[in-house]
Amino acid sequence: MRVILLGPPGAGKGTQARQLAARWGVPQIATGDMLRDAVAAGTALGRQAKQHMDAGELVPDAVIIGLVAERLAQPDARTGFVLDGFPRTVVQAEALDRLADGHGLSLDRVVLFEIDDGELVRRLTGRRVCRACGRNYHVVFSPPARADRCDACDGTLYQRSDDEEDTVRRRLSVYARDTRPLIEYYRRRGLLETIPGAGPVEQVFDDLLRVTGSGR
């Protein structure tokens, strides 16, 4: 399966993409995670991306498209992938179409998570992330067993620099302006499925499996 998870910041794309990719044995390709790795490693890409990310703005299309093109060319992406956070603009979606054509691949589904802004702000401002394995927690909705430690690997939990409330609101308006047009883009191609993003994680996963035709 080749699937795109589409939705605003905090909709649960990362949480669900990780489970879906593990279930299908395909890579989760998360541009936000790739950029944060580059920032942590202090690469030229990371230095360029950081200023945009901290401001809640998008990293320039050309940079992101180059990153995804390299990733999709790796052998593990031949069997399928779950795209999480890409594409985010019409320019990126058009580039993905060209990349897929170039590899002789086609997209199977685009799944949109619908959820209101108030819930997104609550989720993002309470999110904590494991520095070692990337697992997400929430201080109220899914707290770790021990404060600031990951249940899975005992890594340290941290708050993302773009999860401060002002930056979250900026990210939501960037989503409305730049990413929402993709809903129509994929609807016209007959690829779009919409699921509610606000229920419990397990319920959202069930819906995701249903609309991707892979059932429990």
State yes or no: is 47 an active-site residue. Answer: no
Residues 6 or more apart in contact with residue 164 via CB below 8 angstroms = 125
Catalytic residue among 36, 128, 135, 171: 171
- Angstrom distance (rounded) from CA 63 to CA 166: 25
Catalytic residue among 13, 18, 50, 123: 13
Residues 6 or more apart in contact with residue 75 via CB below 8 angstroms = none
Which residues of this protein are in contact with ligand AP5, per CB under 6 A?
7, 9-15, 31-32, 35, 52-53, 56-59, 64, 85-86, 88, 92, 123-124, 127, 136-138, 141-142, 162, 171, 200-201, 204
State yes or no: is 36 an active-site residue. Answer: no
Q: Give the burial string for 108-126 (b: 16+ CB within 10 Å, else e).
A: ebbbbbebebeebbebbbb
> Could you tell me the smallest distance in angstroms from the CB atom of residue 185 to ligand AP5?
14
> Could you tell me the smallest distance in angstroms from the CB atom of residue 191 to ligand AP5?
18
> Could you tell me the smallest distance in angstroms from the CB atom of residue 8 to ligand AP5?
7
Query: What's the burial of 127, exposed, middle or buried (CB within 10 Å: 0-12/13-18/19+)?
Result: buried
**Which residue of this chain has its Cβ atom nearest to ligand AP5 in the complex?**
32
Identity of the residue, 26 or 58, whose beta carbon is nearer to ligand AP5 in the bound complex: 58
Catalytic residue among 88, 123, 128, 135: 88
Catalytic residue among 123, 127, 128, 135: 127
Q: Where are the alpha helices (DSSP H) in the chain?
A: 13-24, 31-41, 44-54, 61-72, 90-102, 117-125, 165-174, 181-188, 201-211
> Could you tell me the smallest distance in angstroms from the CB atom of residue 7 to ligand AP5?
6
Q: Which residues are catalytic?
A: 13, 88, 127, 160, 171
